[in-house]
Amino acid sequence: MGLFGKKSEPPPPKPKPAKSPDMFETIFNMKFTAKQIGKLAKKSEKSVKDEKLKCKLAIEKGNVESAKVHAENAVRNEKQAVSYLRLQSRMDAVASKLEAHSQMMQATSSMGAVTESLNAVLGTTDITKITEVMDTFEKQFE
């Protein structure tokens, strides 16, 4: 009982911490985002072509001010495309490193299990068991 004869209420449940995404999901999201950025780069490159064409047409018409604006837009879009490509490259590199790390961790964990069984089998003189364990050990390296 709480103060003054009232029943005390139980404390509210604690919020569960947000589940962190697993390694596979993170790698997938990074690759997907890199692909989206690559599409943005292509879109910017297309804009560069369009702006250059508009600039050329404006020069042919003798409209110098409009040509300058289109030329500036072309330069800006080209810089943006290069920036997108750089970012895409960096994201691909990080995703590749994460993927390699993930594969290494999986190989390491499975190596531990195989090593334990290899140690257990080496204590015996059963050639067939040793051969089986060595086969699984070699498969883990592949």
Residues spanned by the domain of 52: 25-141
Asked whether residue 16 is assigned to any structural domain, the reply reads no
Asked whether residue 127 is assigned to any structural domain, the reply reads yes
d(CA 89, CA 106): 26
Q: Hey, what amino acid is at 120?
A: A
d(CA 105, CA 98): 10
Asked whether residue 114 is assigned to any structural domain, the reply reads yes
Distances (CA, A) of 22 to 27, 134, 139: 9, 31, 25
Both tokens of residue 18? 């947000």
Distances (CA, A) of 14 to 1, 10, 11, 17, 140: 22, 12, 9, 9, 43
Overall pTM surpassing 0.85 (yes/no): no
Query: How confident is the model at residue 15, as a pLDDT?
Result: 62
**Chain segment 25-43, per-residue pLDDT in tens:** 989 999 999 999 999 999 9
Query: Structurally, how many domains does the chain consist of?
Result: 1
- The distance from CA 78 to its chain's CA centroid, rounded to whole angstroms, is 25
Asked whether residue 7 is assigned to any structural domain, the reply reads no
**Chain segment 74-91, per-residue pLDDT in tens:** 999 999 999 999 999 999
Query: How confident is the model at residue 73, as a pLDDT?
Result: 97
Asked whether residue 3 is assigned to any structural domain, the reply reads no
